Amino acid sequence: MDIFNGKATQDSDCGHGVVQALHALSGFLKFQKSLGNRSMTLGQDAMHILDTWGTPSWPPPFFAARGPEDARIVLVDSEGTFFNGDPGSLLVKMLSAMHLAPSGVYICNAADTALLTRHIVTHKPLVVVALGEQACQMMNGTADPLAKIRGNFFQYHGVPVMATHHPSALVKTPALKRQAWDDLKQVMACAGLDRHDS
């Protein structure tokens, strides 16, 4: 009861509904027992309800993107940090080494395969860079670790994708920078980047 106006709150109504459902289920089970039924076969939907009972259903991660939609280079960021913090500063330096500016690339997080696919199919960039393992696995449709996939292009709806280390990994383990730079040089060659690009 709401102590301020004496009315039942929505939460208590919901709780009352759960109690009613449990009473109804209990009555149904007792009836089945009286008929001599000692077991029941539950369908997949019923099993799913039982398995997830009391488990909160978290909303899917929010898809975030920035930059020109028609950019020739698309970055898919596993961590969604984009150009923030130390990893973001390093990403800006990586792009600069490729003769690119942050404003000249399209960057998105690895949260929604359908939206990413729509962007790739619609805008057909020259190349995609998957930054980190989550982006790599999502685009490659595999559970293989990044170490097994990086260093070679794979195709995603007809567009070449290079998977490489996320800048946060490079901040933590600077020894990986050589591998990342080798990957990015292949991206530059694939996209035809030269010192006149910005």
Same domain, 109 and 39: no
d(CA 130, CA 161): 7
d(CA 87, CA 169): 8
Q: Which amino acid is at 135?
A: A
142 inside domain: yes
16 inside domain: yes
d(CA 41, CA 35): 16
Same domain, 47 and 88: no
**Residues 73/105, Cβ–Cβ less than 8 Å:** yes
Same domain, 160 and 83: yes
Q: pLDDT in tens for each of the 198 residues of the chain?
A: 333 344 444 444 555 666 777 777 777 778 778 888 777 676 666 666 766 676 666 676 789 999 999 999 999 999 999 999 999 999 999 999 999 999 999 999 999 999 999 999 999 999 999 999 999 999 999 999 999 999 999 999 999 999 999 999 999 999 999 999 999 999 999 999 965 544
d(CA 192, CA 186): 10
Which residue range is the domain that position 14 belongs to? Answer: 10-51
Q: How many residues does the chain have?
A: 198
d(CA 94, CA 113): 25
